[in-house]
Chain A
Amino acid sequence: MRLFLCFLLALLVNACAAPQLRGTGDLGLIIERAAGRVTLVNTTSRQPYARIDGLGDLSHASAVYSRDGRYAYVFGRDGGLSKIDLLEAKLVKRVIQSGNAIGGSISQDGRIVVAQNYTPGGIKAFDAETLELLSEVPAEYAPGKFSKVVGLADTAGNKFAYALFEGGEIWVSDFSNPRQPTTQRFPAGNQPYDGLVTPDGRYFLTGLFGEDGVAMLDLWQPDKGARKILEKYGRGEEKLPVFKMPHLRGWSVAQGKAYLPAIGRHEVLIVDVATWKEVGRIPVRGQPVFVMARPDGRQVWVNFAFPDNGKIDVIDTLAGQVTHAFEPGKGILHMEFAPRGENVWLSARDDNKVLIYNTENFAKLGEIAVDNPSGIFFTTRAARIGF
């Protein structure tokens, strides 16, 4: 009897001590840019479950995920690269890898994390497991001249594509041998400001600030070189002042059309991805910053630069126009859709809140108190190329 009681007690103790199992698929994180902190969230319960401090200057910070969605790699403006365990809710490792950084990406095989830097210009590759520095590619586009790097995105074959702001080039670095990368260079145009890889991994596009148009490289046929698309767009028209650079990442393809933020104009551009020709423009209520498609492509959500950064326009891609417009809060910096698109999370920086909406009927579902929220990143990004 005594033995049996001991056995029962052991069962109970074990039951209490065993960690609660959970998957990573419904997790994510919110950047608190001023506090140097991230808030870990559950997208099913729509609640925060942990906060991690001490991550440095997180203005313009972004995050990518390990293949299993367990670890987030957060790139800070101050060059900090932090590896966070979402299951144990703790900081695993943090390195200061440069003086001034602007984001990063993770390789197709998940083994290499690459940071893109403003100061000194270039990219650096790290072992995803240990954050040990593997190699670097300085963005020296002319003897002694270094460029800021923008638009870094991973592509097939452990290659990374990116653009050089001052250098006006697209570079593709192959990290098949991570300690000895090889780089191809392509002329792109004047002042590339951001870039993206299409969801199929085939094309790298970089928006040009210094001239009209977008430079595009076919990564399946790089020998053909980069070409310009949308060259005629806006020709001869005076640009409006740009109070915040548009972001191309998180871009949108729906029904064979791409939706891109126009620069210096209150418009979203529609491009046919078969011909890469402009097929339309949709007027919106400010300078678009993020133009993001709901995962099914039925809607495209648009936020804006200062002074219109309290507004959101929702484009219905069937109707080809804005069908819902509202002002959810102050300083809407970023948005992220739930994995299958039923909800969207919006950062309201100046209201210190993240707001959650139903995308079908636009009803507000809840909010989370967060200090100056900016980027929101869910683990579904782990399974996508170009992030």
Chain B
Amino acid sequence: MSASRLVIALWLASAAAWAGEPDATRQKELIHLVRQDCGSCHGMTLKGGLGPPLLPENLAEKPAEGLAATIYYGRPGTPMPPWKQFMSENEADWIVQKLMTAFPE
């Protein structure tokens, strides 16, 4: 890799980090967490269970920031726990962005 290409690669990586996009390995971990562990209540296919469904049509009317805060801090008075010890705020934002479009398998 030439020096200039390395610089560009590093710049792209830092830009991705700045935008809150987790790297590929971490994305895989988060997808697994959402499907399998959030899936305990919201269903593995996210169609809902004891917790509400999390498909794009269910979330369309809701503000993304509020949804990310629900993941990060939980929702007191309901069974929704805070997940902040397992992810960053950026990662919660990324999960919401994916849930609102099409969540990866």
Report A's interface with B, CB cutoff 8 A: 33-34, 57, 59-60, 77-78, 100, 102, 118-119, 148, 150, 165, 191, 193, 209, 241-245, 306-307, 331, 349-350
Residues of A within 8 A of B74 (CB): 241
Docked-complex contact A209 and B45, CB < 8 angstroms: no
Contact A77-B50, Cβ < 8 Å, known A243-B81, A306-B37 = no
Report B's interface with A, CB cutoff 8 A: 32-33, 36-37, 39-41, 43-45, 47-50, 74, 79, 81-82, 86
A354-B47 Cα distance, complex, nearest whole Å: 27
Docked-complex contact A243 and B37, CB < 8 angstroms: yes
Docked-complex contact A241 and B41, CB < 8 angstroms: no
- Report which of B36, B44, B81 forms a contact with A57, defined as CB distance below 8 A: B44
Residues of A within 8 A of B47 (CB): 57, 77-78, 100
Give me 20 A-to-B residue pairs in the complex whose CB atoms sit less than 8 angstroms apart, sorted by A's number.
A57-B47, A59-B39, A59-B44, A77-B43, A77-B44, A77-B45, A77-B47, A78-B45, A100-B48, A102-B49, A102-B50, A118-B48, A118-B49, A150-B50, A241-B82, A243-B40, A244-B37, A244-B40, A245-B41, A331-B36
Docked-complex contact B45 and A59, CB < 8 angstroms: yes
Docked-complex contact A57 and B50, CB < 8 angstroms: no
Residues of A within 8 A of B37 (CB): 243-244, 306
- Report A48 CB to chain B, min CB distance, Å: 22
Docked-complex contact A57 and B45, CB < 8 angstroms: yes
A306 closest partner in B (C-beta): B37
B45 closest partner in A (C-beta): A57
- Report A311 CB to chain B, min CB distance, Å: 15
Docked-complex contact A33 and B79, CB < 8 angstroms: no
Contact A349-B36, Cβ < 8 Å, known A59-B45, A77-B43, A241-B81 = yes
Docked-complex contact A59 and B43, CB < 8 angstroms: yes
A119 closest partner in B (C-beta): B48
- Report which of A59, A118, A242, A306 forms a contact with B79, defined as CB distance below 8 A: A242
- Report B14 CB to chain A, min CB distance, Å: 30
Docked-complex contact B49 and A77, CB < 8 angstroms: yes
Residues of A within 8 A of B44 (CB): 33-34, 57, 59, 77
- Report which of B33, B36, B79 forms a contact with A245, defined as CB distance below 8 A: B79
Docked-complex contact B36 and A165, CB < 8 angstroms: no
- Report B52 CB to chain A, min CB distance, Å: 10
Docked-complex contact B82 and A193, CB < 8 angstroms: no
In addition to A118-B50, A244-B40, A350-B36, 6 A-B residue pairs with Cβ atoms within 8 Å of each other are A59-B39, A100-B49, A118-B48, A165-B50, A243-B37, A243-B81
Residues of B within 8 A of A57 (CB): 43-45, 47
Q: State the 5 A-B residue pairs at the shortest beta-carbon distance, nearest first.
A: A241-B81, A59-B44, A306-B37, A244-B40, A57-B45
Docked-complex contact B36 and A242, CB < 8 angstroms: no
- Report B2 CB to chain A, min CB distance, Å: 41
Residues of B within 8 A of A102 (CB): 49-50
Residues of B within 8 A of A34 (CB): 44
A242-B76 Cα distance, complex, nearest whole Å: 12
- Report which of A59, A148, A243 forms a contact with B50, defined as CB distance below 8 A: A148
Residues of A within 8 A of B40 (CB): 60, 243-245
A102 closest partner in B (C-beta): B49
- Report B74 CB to chain A, min CB distance, Å: 6
A59-B47 Cα distance, complex, nearest whole Å: 11
Residues of B within 8 A of A241 (CB): 74, 81-82
Docked-complex contact B39 and A209, CB < 8 angstroms: no
A77-B45 Cα distance, complex, nearest whole Å: 9
